[in-house]
Amino acid sequence: MQEQPHIRSSEDRYSRIRLIRELDFGGIRSSRICVVGAGALGNEVIKNLALYAPSLMTVVDSDRVDYTNLGRCFLFDRSDAETHRSKAEAASSRARLLNPDCSVECFPMDATTLDHTFFSRFSVVIGCVDSIRTRLHLNSNCYYAGIPYIDGGIDGLNGRIQVVLPPRTACYECTLNGSHMDSVDSEYSCGGREASFPSRRIPSEP
Cα separation, 126 vs 138, whole angstroms: 9
Distance CA 56, CA 54 (A): 5
Sorted by where each begins, the domain ranges of the chain are: 23-182
Residue 34, H or E segment:
strand 32-36
Task: Report percent pLDDT > 70 for the chain.
Answer: 81
pLDDT of residue 123: 98
Distance CA 205, CA 200 (A): 15
Model confidence over 51-100: pLDDT tens digits? 999 999 999 999 999 999 999 999 999 999 999 999 999 999 999 999 99
Domain 23-182: give its CATH code.
3.40.50.720
Q: Which helix (H) or strand (E) holds 135?
A: helix 132-145
**pLDDT number for residue 176:** 84
What average pLDDT does range 187-200 have in this prediction? 46
How high does pLDDT run on average in the chain?
A: 87
Q: What is the pLDDT of residue 177?
A: 73
- What is the band of 194 on the pLDDT scale with cuts at 50, 70, 90? very low
